[in-house]
């Protein structure tokens, strides 16, 4: 593994319910990126958004033999096979950028953060994990990141996935946590995020609720930026020991957390 190298994959809700927080999300996300750019060490970043075309069957199937993503169809209600080794991209998930060096990542903007339709959360998490794992596996062992952090931010609960089941996503999270020491952060509004995170196997120490307000959204990005920076400072396999404490949770909910 490459010391002082962290990869972050971020699954970001851009369903229609996020529209009233669109400007705050853009500003908060960009402040998160700026905070990461100030931190020493190498970091690569992937951003997966999910909203539109939920329930339609087009996917992109990764072919390990050819190394290509080929268009395919999953019928309405069909699932990714439980034994599948392919990476299936539901049409409801789109990649803003993937494994880009932090210094080269552009800001989020109204041009690349559009809020539409439903919340295919399972498809976004399932695809993000599968694709991140595939790209990491393709790297030589001595070029792989010391820490992998997977952030999930949503203001609603699952209501539109067609490709990945809850059981599959939960199993994938368990596998990455226990075998590869990935850290998962679950950030949720309009729900009990600790309870929601637990349903996926993400512990309370790595889950946090926020209010669907401008101030709380901004505080959320401040808090996750600080948390990720602390994790990046830990040696291999130790980032999982960094916890979100109750003081941070409280100040995020009331919108007063302004960063360390």
| Of 39-53, 98-112, 209-223, highest mean pLDDT | 209-223
Mean pLDDT of the chain: 85
pLDDT value, residue 116:
77
Which tokens go with 197? 């995170």
Where does the pLDDT of residue 155 fall: very low under 50, low under 70, confident under 90, or very high at 90 and above? confident
Alpha-carbon distance of 78 to 56, in angstroms, equals: 10
* Cα–Cα distance, 99 to 145 (Å, whole number): 11
Work out the pLDDT band at 182, boundaries 50, 70, 90: very high
pLDDT surpassing 50 at residue 43: yes
Task: Write the CATH number of the domain with boundaries 2-55+93-253.
Answer: 3.40.50.410
Q: What is the pLDDT of residues 63-119, one digit of tens each?
A: 444 544 444 444 444 454 444 445 666 767 878 889 999 999 989 998 888 887 778
- Tokens matching residue 100: 């880009």
pLDDT at 78: 45
**pLDDT confidence tier of residue 259, bands split at 50, 70 and 90:** confident
52, pLDDT greater than 70: no
Residues 6+ apart with CB under 8 A from 165: 79, 122
- For position 14, what pLDDT does the model report? 85
pLDDT at 19: 87
Strands 145-154 and 93-101: unpaired
What integer pLDDT is reported at residue 133 of this predicted model? 92
Cα–Cα distance, 5 to 159 (Å, whole number): 35
Burial class (CB in 10 A: 0-12, 13-18, 19+), 76: exposed
pTM comes to: 0.87
pLDDT band of residue 56 (cuts 50, 70, 90) is: very low
Does the pLDDT at position 139 exceed 60? yes
Distance CA 51, CA 7 (A): 24
Crossing angle of helices 166-180 and 121-138, in 10° steps, is 30
Whole-angstrom distance, CA of residue 78 vs CA of residue 75: 5
In this prediction, residues 152-178 reach a mean pLDDT of: 88
Task: Return the pLDDT at 88.
Answer: 63
Q: What is the pLDDT of residue 89?
A: 67
**Whether the Cβ atoms of residue 60 and residue 72 lie closer than 8 Å to each other:** yes
- Average pLDDT score over residue span 44-59: 65
Of 14, 89, 13, the residue nearest 56 (C-alpha):
89
Position 248 pLDDT exceeds 80: yes
Strands 183-189 and 145-154: parallel
> What are the structure tokens assigned to 155, written together?
């203001």
């Amino acid at each position: 593994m490459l010391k002082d190298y962290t990869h972050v994959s971020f699954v970001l809700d851009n369903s229609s319910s996020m529209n009233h927080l669109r400007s705050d999300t853009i500003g908060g996300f960009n402040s998160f990126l700026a905070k990461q750019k100030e931190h020493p060490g190498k970091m690569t970043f992937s951003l997966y958004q999910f909203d539109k075309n939920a329930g339609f069957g087009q996917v992109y199937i990764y072919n390990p033999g050819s190394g290509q993503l080929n268009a395919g169809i999953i019928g309405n209600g069909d699932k990714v096979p439980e034994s599948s080794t392919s990476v299936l991209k539901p049409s409801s998930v789109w990649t803003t950028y993937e494994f880009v060096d932090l210094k080269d990542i552009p800001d989020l903007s109204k041009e690349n953060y559009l809020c539409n339709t439903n919340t295919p959360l399972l498809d976004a998490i399932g695809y993000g994990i599968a694709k991140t794992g595939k790209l990491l596996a393709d790297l030589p062992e001595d070029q792989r990141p010391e820490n992998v952090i997977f952030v999930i931010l949503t203001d609603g609960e699952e209501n539109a996935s067609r490709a990945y089941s809850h059981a599959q996503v939960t199993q994938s999270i368990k596998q990455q946590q226990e075998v590869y020491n990935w850290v998962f952060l679950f950030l949720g509004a309009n729900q009990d995020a600790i309870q929601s995170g637990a349903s996926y196997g993400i512990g309370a120490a790595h889950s946090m609720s926020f209010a669907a307000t401008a101030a709380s959204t901004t505080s959320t990005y401040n808090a996750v930026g600080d948390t990720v920076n602390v994790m990046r400072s830990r040696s291999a396999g130790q980032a999982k020991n960094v916890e979100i404490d109750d003081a941070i949770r409280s100040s995020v909910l009331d919108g007063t957390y302004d960063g360390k």
